[in-house]
Structure 1
Amino acid sequence: MAVAGVVLGDRAGLDVSGQLLRVLNTLDVPAALAYMLPLLAACYVGVAFADRLEGFSQLRDTFKAALIPQLRILPFWGLGLMALGAGVGEETLFRAFMQEALCGGLADAAPSLPATLTTAAGVAVASVIFGALHALTPTYFLFATGAGALFGVEYLLYGLPTAAVTHWIYDWIALAFILREWGGSSGAEEAG
């Protein structure tokens, strides 16, 4: 679909390939990898030590009951496509739209407050909403809220493409790891 969109858009004179190249030129891969590290570390600790961490054992049980049966049928590349949709879609909604609107709205509502304070408040509120919409368990709410704050800061410093790539690749790796550790045999392993 992306190729069709570029070809059709360019033929219609919309310079879609130029727009796409401008977006890709703002991607900071080293920053994306650096922001991914704490998320991967937290995922590893939570999954590997779930038996010893009460909140993570509850999360594991929830994943095993509700999510792993659906995820198990996907091949590894299917997990990647699902993660791509989440990374791009959620970062566009929560950072480029919601966080921007909150930061701007708070700045307009309280012009005497320092911009760093209204920006921090906008990031915090968007992150809590992000966490609440991922709240499979209280532990996952806290994890997702923290991840949302990390993505929010990354978005401010490096832009949407970098935050979206971090989110995408993290989700892909985390889902594959969770399936391997908590899901037994899966399509992701068989297709890997």
Structure 2
Amino acid sequence: MAVAGATLGDRAGLDVSGQLLHSLDSLNSGAALAYMLPLLAACYAGVAFADRLEGFSQLRSTFKAALIPQLRILPFWGLGLLALGAGVGEETLFRAFMQAALCGGIAGAAPGLPEAATTAAGIAVASVIFGWLHALTPTYFFFATGAGALFGVEYVLYGLPTAAATHFIYDWIALVFILREWGGSSGAEEAG
């Protein structure tokens, strides 16, 4: 996904490769942590209270049937590599390419709109597409759309490296937590 996002973004004149190459220089770890906290809180609430929240109960059933059997075989570091690929790949494709291209396209199509409006519209459209592509259940669509909006704002304010770091670390923590709570014994537990 990172390669696709960088290639498409570079062809669109967005210098996505440059954003990736200078990633460590512009990483804002404080912002990454701050943006991660609401995601972790929502994940914790959904997992811990799945019995009381119908949408999360359905999500738990879907995870147990479709994802946990595949994830359970991965060791802790394997979950980390999966999360790293998702964080860097999805942020490169959805934020650095898609969101930026949408913002530019909206600004070009409606030159009288304020920049804040074109940015908000680009974030909204990219976030809904991100949510739709993660829609294992209706609840997960809404969660992923909200996470996408959060990553989108973070991308605008702090850049690709910070949004990718937030996404990566959140995914890793969430995968380990979900496996421990919903998956029984897993490679993550054995390694950690």
Normalised TM-score (structure 2):
0.89
- Give 1:42-121 correspondences, 5 Å limit: 42-121=42-121
Partner of 1:135 in structure 2? 135
1:92-124 CA-partner distances (Å, limit 9, x unpaired): 000000000000000000001111111100000
Q: Distance in 1 between matches of 2:107 and 2:175?
A: 37
Contact 2:83/2:171, CA 8 A, preserved across alignment: yes
Q: Distance in 2 between matches of 1:23 and 1:118?
A: 25
SS of 2:73's equivalent in the other structure is: coil
Partner of 1:160 in structure 2? 160
Structure with higher Rg: it is 1
User: How many equivalent residue pairs?
Assistant: 175
Over 3 Å counting, the alpha-carbon distance change for 1:81 and 1:161 in structure 2 is same
Q: Given residue 183 of structure 2, which amino acid in structure 1 is its aligned partner?
A: G
Contact 2:26/2:161, CA 8 A, preserved across alignment: yes
**2:35 matches 1:35:** yes
Q: Given residue 46 of structure 1, which amino acid in structure 2 is its aligned partner?
A: G
SS of 2:23's equivalent in the other structure is: helix
Runs of 4+ in 1 over 4 A off after TM superposition: none
Give the unaligned 5+ runs of structure 2: 1-18
For the aligned residue pairs, the C-alpha RMSD in angstroms reads 1.4
Percent sequence identity is 86
Normalised TM-score (structure 1):
0.89
Contact 2:20/2:161, CA 8 A, preserved across alignment: no
1:38-57 CA-partner distances (Å, limit 9, x unpaired): 00000000000000000000
